[in-house]
Amino acid sequence: MAEPLSAARPGVRGALAAYRALLRAQARSQTAYRTSFVVDLVGNVGATVFDVVTVLVIFGVTRELGGFTLRETLVIVGLSSSAFAVADLLVGNIERLPRYVRTGLFDAVLVRPLGALPQLLLMDLPLRKVSRALFGLAVLVFAVGTAGIDWTPARLALVVAAPLAAVVFFGSVFVATATVSFYWIDSGELASSVTYGGRDFTSYPVTVYGGWFRAIFAYGMGFAFVSYHPALALLGRADPLGLPAWAGWAAPGVALVAAAGAAAAWRAGIRHYRSTGS
């Protein structure tokens, strides 16, 4: 049946069906080798477990870190690691973009009648990272459950909104840093200094960091609003660095700004993209 070329882009329903098919195919192929999949699940949870173990070990040699106790720090760790794990599961695969650009696979993605970004994310959705996200959530639940939080309706709302905002924030960081590879194909690990660096940064109270390094990561890039300020608001603690109490509730706003910035960077990157010709 001959259709005009302009009709080739499917409607919203068609697109959703296509994405669902992509996701299903991914799930089938990834679980085809059961043992491998289980090993991957276990291996992936290991990385997050060791991040938490590191915090516990450090608190084994000190009673407080940057003025925060272990229980308070665990709230920060829980917010950070659950959000990072979920964002990594949903969007983290974008870090393969340099390879797609180098091998020319990205050309194939662009000529298909679906959005480039959702395709990239669904083409390789790493289901094995589910275990990591679940562990992160468990840490968060344990931490807020044992931190002695004085629950109010506003705090209940925040304990749901803050991790969601942090997921959006980390997702934006993944996308924004990946766009670097449109300009610099061999950028390699550069993106991980901000993505994984951001995860490490948000795992501790920002009071442990000093000077301009803290200023850049915490407020220049906005990482302070991922876990530190929401945790302060949940715990009802004043910020030792002097920001007002509402800073904790600013997290969703910061996340939206980050998402808008990432979207702009992505569009600019796509426009700039020249195929490597391979």
Partner 1 sequence: MGSFTATVARPTGTNVILRIRTFSAIVGSGFRRHATYRQAAVAGVVTNTVFGFLRCYVLLAAVGAAGTVAGYDRAQLATFVWVGQGLLAVILLWGWTELADRIRTGEIAADLLRPIHPVTSYLATDLGRAGWAAFSRLLPPVLVGPLFFDVYLPQRAATGPLFVFSVLVAVLLCFGCRYLVNATAYWLYDVRGAMILWTLCSGVLAGLYFPLRFLPDGLLRPLWLITPFPSLFQTPLDVLVERDPPATQLELVGLQVGWAVAILLLCRLVQRRAERRMVVQGG
What is the Cα Rg of the chain in Å? 20
Among 38-46, 78-86, 87-95, 256-264, which window interacts with partner 1 (CB under 8 A)?
38-46
Strands (DSSP E) found in 53-169: none
**Encoded tokens for 156:** 């209940």
C-alpha torsion 122→125→127→130, nearest 10: -100
- Per rule CB under 8 A, count of chain residues that contact partner 1: 38
Among 52-60, 227-235, 238-246, 255-263, which window interacts with partner 1 (CB under 8 A)?
52-60
**Does the footprint of partner 1 cover residue 210 (CB under 8 A)?**
yes
Q: Which is nearer to partner 1, 42 or 154 (CB)?
A: 42
Of 232, 256, 234, 223, nearest in space to 160 by CA = 234
**Does the footprint of partner 1 cover residue 183 (CB under 8 A)?**
no
Are 127 and 30 contacting, i.e. CB atoms less than 8 angstroms apart? yes
Contacts of 227 (CB under 8 A, 6+ apart): 75, 76, 77, 79, 80, 83, 162, 166, 202, 203
**Does the footprint of partner 1 cover residue 190 (CB under 8 A)?**
yes
Q: Which is nearer to partner 1, 51 or 235 (CB)?
A: 51
Of 196, 181, 170, 176, nearest in space to 255 by CA = 170
Among 13-21, 141-149, 181-189, 231-239, which window interacts with partner 1 (CB under 8 A)?
181-189
| Nearest distance from C-beta of residue 10 to partner 1, angstroms | 36
d(CA 234, CA 227): 10
Contact positions with partner 1 (CB under 8 A) in 59-78: 60-62, 64-66
Q: Which residues bind partner 1 (CB under 8 A)?
A: 36, 39-40, 42-44, 46-47, 50-51, 53-54, 57-58, 60-62, 64-66, 184, 186-190, 192-194, 197, 200-201, 204, 207-210, 213
